[in-house]
Amino acid sequence: MTSHKLLQRIHRHQYLRDLRNKLLYLHRVLLDTERIAYEQVSGRVSSGELLQLAIDREQFAWLHRISELIVQIDEMLQADEPVTPDIIKELTAYTRTLLTPSETGDEFARRYYNAFQQEPAVVLAHAEVTQLLNSH
């Protein structure tokens, strides 16, 4: 493998790691937002209870799309096959589409839009992801 190809491969893996970390942070901010809404109705929950709620409760189900995306990135980083520019392009396009808040979109887009309206930290975390996506 030439040094140029090796550098490209390292760059693609770094991009995936950066995207994964920014998505994890966004997911955590969104989970905290849902936790606050849940606790306002049902009372405080522990971290263990929150994990169970995130898995089982319909209120948290929309966040699974981001979890699945993070798992997909983890699998790419651990795979034996190289991450090609086309894979990066597809992943970037999918992430952009997923993270488009909309009052009239699918359930994820509507819930994401509502989180945007309610929590400035969501807007900031989204901006971090968007900035990285726009770099590619």
Alpha-carbon span 67 to 25, nearest angstrom:
11
- Give the residue, 53 or 67, on which the prediction is more confident: 67
The 10s digit of each residue's pLDDT in 43-64 is 787 777 767 767 777 778 899 9
Q: What does the angle CA 84 – CA 87 – CA 17 come to, to the nearest 5 degrees?
A: 85
Contact criterion met (CB below 8 Å) for 63 and 73: no
- Whether residue 42 is predicted with pLDDT greater than 60 in this model: the reply is yes
- Whether residue 86 is predicted with pLDDT greater than 90 in this model: the reply is yes
- Whether residue 1 is predicted with pLDDT greater than 70 in this model: the reply is no
* Counted domains in the chain: 1
Model's pTM, two decimal places?
A: 0.89
Contact criterion met (CB below 8 Å) for 66 and 27: yes
Q: Is the dihedral of CA 49, 51, 57, 62 positive or negative?
A: positive
Residue ranges making up the domain that contains 123: 3-134
Contact criterion met (CB below 8 Å) for 100 and 109: yes
